[in-house]
A and B are shown apart, each in its own frame.
Chain A
């Protein structure tokens, strides 16, 4: 048992940390893709912005510059997906529940949280790689401090629920932005452009090497979709995230002696992911499937808040 506010803070703390890392990886992907000899008009930066939900910032513009992306997704103080915003929110949530965190978790969140506060876009771009690495290291250290030292009580569960919901959300958003490259029809187009496009999706989720381990080399939209949606091994796949959500909801249900609507929602989704194969998903429309899953994930987040009074 704990304060509902504490559960809320832990849930969001984890979501913001996860999001900060996801945004950093997205920017990294954009940077890599911009360096590749693909056709310029593909404009990876634009899809980076869209995947990060900064749709307003790119509305109407055909091309988006790196400077623009750095400003919006790394340094912005009020864009809720910017790295700076996420780190500040994560720390604010942590500060409100310091007593629920281990010393090391807190120190990870407290160290350098003001790093981007006074940084200009040009300063940030000069060492963009270093800054993004730093963010990823923060996230990894926090995760390590959580796994290594945190008591496995309900606090641990709320932290993980937040992380998995956010992660599922990010994978889905990326699929949404890129779904047109994953449509089977485009396979006939072939050629370099699609190759780069497919690669970019894996890069954004750092699933590049894992993919090769699983599928022996060649890129194909089918396999990539299978990997990101149905794989039970890849930790950023939809199925893996929902597996994590179910695990922690089950633990809470056992701990508190009652289960809620959110468990049913999570189970239904997992059931779907376990029984459907890729053919069925494409048949009834990948886009429709993604939109449905995004809706379910939002609803699930609300149901968790309701169930635990936050």
Chain B
């Protein structure tokens, strides 16, 4: 919103409804919603902080709304990006054209920790590496959507998209009868379709698909079991799988059953102790060999993570032009790479206006929000940058758009970001919606759930 003329057009219906319903009733409903979340067990785990090991993500009841026209643009931009990122992954594990063309420096790829030499020459079905691409998007003005980062490994949070809608429809049915909101509940079917499409060519008939989770102690375990359930596929832990004669099997009550496609929610490092980390307790011995032999498809492919590396991020618009021959629909946030001398000097001079991130970090940990940091914190951080400039990038603090959000004292604007989940199989699919995260602290820009962020339902209005 943020427009002095009042709420933007798509919000008007909701604004009227809020006025009619009244804040007290809404606050009551919020408690109701939390009780429902708690009872059905939608929680996430926060490591090493003590307290309740299973927490709720705060839920804000005011939906974030996209008009049909806005969505068309976001949707086209996200799909375009997902296609370009997969083309990039195929390229770097094969001929490396984009580096030969001088667009991306070789060392950023080949010496990147996320680059897996073991993947060179491997042909994943459909040439798809990242089957679920989560693109984190923010808005700074009425025109533009900017991409903060891509998530090409195993982006989480889609269960909130589904559950938030479920809760909203349960609690405010009349709201949905006024506004025509595109449904999101087709996501599990679309995901299953995408996974089935990338089954190994040798697999005849209906592929056996399984979701591989590290287990109940993983912070996203709820989501894993929820998705497996909605897709009607088995939720397997590494101990349920074994490799025999280059094929992957799961242990069942009727003996071994072959698995064709694995939607894995375990990092590369931990999928196979034979191929990667020998100390891993999590993996399945021989899984990577079975994958290379083409007997099983891993989603995402090992090594896909390099596409969402922050050092690579800068080049995504170039990838769109290079591989697709199109102009990028979504822009990047301006980014300085401390690895470059000029950029580094600029960053150190302007720390108080910038957000600095570690290249390989995630989840909002280890970053510096310049304007919010104390002088001492900035100074200490500057030393870290100087010690290892390659490890840092910086971006301007954005004038992020806000979205109306419930507080104890009523409605006010809070900063939001948005993550749609793009599915890539034989086709590229995008369900009209996604996860809106909201910084619940006034003025805060950090929306991560581990740092006090909350979630909202996201509406795409139909034409």
Contacts and interface: CB of A to CB of B under 8 A. Distances in A.
A256 B216 contact: no
B250 interface: yes
Contact of B41 (A2, A7, A106): A106
A36 interface: no
Interface string A91-104: 01001101100010
Contacts of A106: 40-41
A3 B251 CA distance: 6
6 contacts: A4-B252, A95-B221, A99-B225, A106-B41, A107-B40, A310-B251
Given A98-B229, A99-B235, A110-B41, A154 B216 contact: no
Interface in B204-222: 215-216, 221
B251 A309 contact: yes
Given A4-B240, A98-B41, A154 B253 contact: yes
A1 B39 contact: no
Nearest to A7: B253
B236 interface: yes
A290 B255 CA distance: 35
Nearest to B250: A3
Interface of B: 39-41, 215-216, 221, 225, 228-229, 234-237, 239-240, 250-255, 257
B227 to A, nearest CB: 10
A5 B239 contact: yes
A234 to B, nearest CB: 31
A5 B237 contact: yes
Contact of A96 (B39, B41, B216): B216
Contact of B252 (A92, A98, A103, A309): A309
A254 B216 CA distance: 32
Interface residues of A, number: 22
Given A3-B240, A5-B237, A110-B41, A98 B225 contact: yes
Contacts of A154: 253
Contacts of B41: 95, 98, 106, 110
A111 interface: yes
Contacts of B253: 1-4, 7, 154, 158, 256, 308-310
Interface string A63-102: 0000000000000000000000000000010011011000
The secondary structure that dominates the A interface is helix
Contacts of B240: 3-5
A310 B255 CA distance: 10
Given A98-B41, A98-B229, 5 more contacts: A1-B253, A3-B251, A106-B40, A154-B253, A309-B255
Interface in A110-126: 110-111
A3 B255 contact: no
Find the residue from A92, A98, A111, A308 having the highest chain B CB count within 10 A: A98
A308 B84 CA distance: 47
Given A107-B40, A309-B253, A3 B225 contact: no
Contacts of A256: 253-254
B225 A110 contact: no
Contacts of B216: 92, 95-96
Nearest to B236: A3
A203 to B, nearest CB: 34
Contact of A3 (B39, B221, B229, B234): B234
Contacts of A98: 41, 225, 229
Given A4-B240, A99-B235, A107 B251 contact: no
A2 B252 contact: yes
A13 to B, nearest CB: 13
A310 B237 CA distance: 14
Q: Give the 6 A-B CB pairs with smallest separation, nearest first.
A: A99-B229, A308-B253, A4-B251, A98-B225, A1-B254, A7-B253
Contacts of B250: 3
A99 B41 CA distance: 12
A110 B257 CA distance: 32
B291 to A, nearest CB: 21
